[in-house]
Amino acid sequence: EAQVTQNPRYLITVTGKKLTVTCSQNMNHEYMSWYRQDPGLGLRQIYYSMNVEVTDKGDVPEGYKVSRKEKRNFPLILESPSPNQTSLYFCASKRGSMNTEAFFGQGTRLTVV
């Protein structure tokens, strides 16, 4: 089954404790990205990657890091989480830079206290 898998689904952590949210896709997609969803703001892009070792900032990259060492994986790293990063996070993938739909993971609910 074609899918985008995020882990964990739920996470509560404390301010300053580094964490990683993993994302994996099995569709051989070149393009992957991370979004956060906040009330009234919709989905805002954090980082995206057009292919292995190619990443770029989205609209809200501050406080986040990413890496793309393999085509299937695109982890999101919060080096020093803060309460304003409490949000619902989604990973997505799609084929290349073509005009085509993106497939989303189930989401990760992160709470930073």
Using CB under 8 A, list all residues that contact another protein.
4, 31, 33, 35, 40-45, 48, 50, 56, 58, 90, 97-99, 101-107
Q: Find residue 31's DSSP bridge partners.
A: 94
Tell me how far, at minimum, the Cβ of 103 lies from another protein, in Å: 7
Q: Give CA 103 to chain center in angstroms.
A: 12
- Which lies closer to another protein via its Cβ, residue 71 or residue 104? 104
Tell me how far, at minimum, the Cβ of 17 lies from another protein, in Å: 25
- Which lies closer to another protein via its Cβ, residue 43 or residue 52? 43
Return d(Cα 103, Cα 54) in angstroms, integer: 19
Burial 29-61 (b: 16+ CB within 10 A, else e): bbbbbbbbeeeeeeeebbbbbeeeeebeebebb
Tell me how far, at minimum, the Cβ of 99 lies from another protein, in Å: 4
DSSP state of 68: -
- Which lies closer to another protein via its Cβ, residue 2 or residue 14? 2
